[in-house]
Amino acid sequence: MKCPHCQAADLKVIESREAGDGDAIRRRRECLQCQHRFTTYERIERPPLAVLKKEGERELFDRRKLFVAIHRSVGKFFTSEVEIEEIVARVEDALYNCGENEILSRQIGDLVLEELARRNKVAYVRFASVYREFKSIDEFEQVLRQLRHT
């Protein structure tokens, strides 16, 4: 995708939300070259992406679930949910760009770590300290759930 104003390819997603009946994503993007802002609507026509969990189970990739997991674990380190949306959007793009129709849940966690490392060191350390130990975002979620119930 290119900036409609200056044709630069350096774009930043500043807002991302579902539109219509949830079969499209509305994204506000900002050009890093000329600061021009524009909106895109992307039909969700992506093929289903299976996530293979550590225990061998499979489930469909769910961007909302990923948002909730990140928000719950490190949301307090960000001033805006838009930033978490951007992390989710970038992780999702990277997953689809790898061209596989099945991915490991660990890949998702590693991509999230990469994004956090670039944005917020405190959030990165917090996420890494728990996640790295468990090697799966599902186990990480389980631990968080247990912590809240004790």
| Binding residues vs Zn ion (CB under 5 A) | 3, 5-6, 8, 31, 33-34, 36
Instruction: For the CB of residue 38, give the shortest distance to Zn ion in the complex, in Å.
Output: 9
In the complex with Zn ion, the residue whose CB is nearer, 11 or 112, is: 11
Instruction: For the CB of residue 97, give the shortest distance to Zn ion in the complex, in Å.
Output: 22
Instruction: For the CB of residue 11, give the shortest distance to Zn ion in the complex, in Å.
Output: 8
In the complex with Zn ion, the residue whose CB is nearer, 1 or 8, is: 8
In a 10 Å sphere around its CB, with 0-12 CB exposed, 13-18 middle and 19+ buried, how is residue 53 labelled? middle
What order do you get walking across the sheet with 58-60 strand by strand?
A: 58-60, 50-52, 102-104
Length of the chain: 150
In the complex with Zn ion, the residue whose CB is nearer, 8 or 122, is: 8
CA 98 to chain centre: 15
